[in-house]
Amino acid sequence: MSVWKTNDPDTKKILYVQTHGEKDPERTATPFFLATAGAAMDNEVCIYFTMNGPQCLAKGNGDKIVIPRKGGNGKELKYFIDQAQEIGVRLLVCQPSLDLHGYTMDDMIEGVEMIGGAAFNDMACDADAVIGF
């Protein structure tokens, strides 16, 4: 049983991979807003968070991570996360990358799903596009 939900052959599946977190706030928002645009085009979209990626999904970090913008007025990452979740983008993490930061699923925001390395590779093989950050 694939992690992908669609049975419609016309619905494309896009998998984003986010490896960046707290150390690189300027690299955290883009996967969320590209995924949001992808979902707005009636595709099924997931983002897989590995390496430092799970830091983006830790409770409280959405407000703490601010995307810098020239001239000030940075925006909190939470804005981009909410936008993505609202349009149906699914957020996935794997166990080893949680362990890396001492996280458990209880540290993750609402809606985050756990998958393993095999499921990730299976999703990648079934996807129409895999995009890594």
Residues binding another protein (CB under 8 A): 12, 33-34, 36-37, 39-43, 83, 87
Q: Report, in Å, the least distance between residue 14 CB and another protein.
A: 11
Contact 65, 56 (CB under 8 A): yes
Nearer residue to another protein within complex by CB, 52 or 83: 83
| Contact (Cβ atoms closer than 8 angstroms) between residue 5 and residue 12 | no
Contacts of 110 (CB under 8 A, 6+ apart): none
Nearer to another protein, 57 or 84 (CB): 84
Nearer to another protein, 23 or 69 (CB): 69
Nearest distance from residue 37's CB to another protein, in Å? 4
Between 39 and 58, whose beta carbon lies closer to another protein? 39
Q: How far is the CB of 111 from another protein (least distance, A)?
A: 18
Own/partner contacts of 115-122, CB < 8 Å, gap of 24 or more, are: 115/3, 115/48, 119/3, 120/48, 120/92, 120/94, 122/2, 122/3
Q: How far apart, in whole angstroms, are the C-alpha atoms of residue 112 and residue 129?
A: 21
Shortest Å, Cβ 103 to another protein: 28
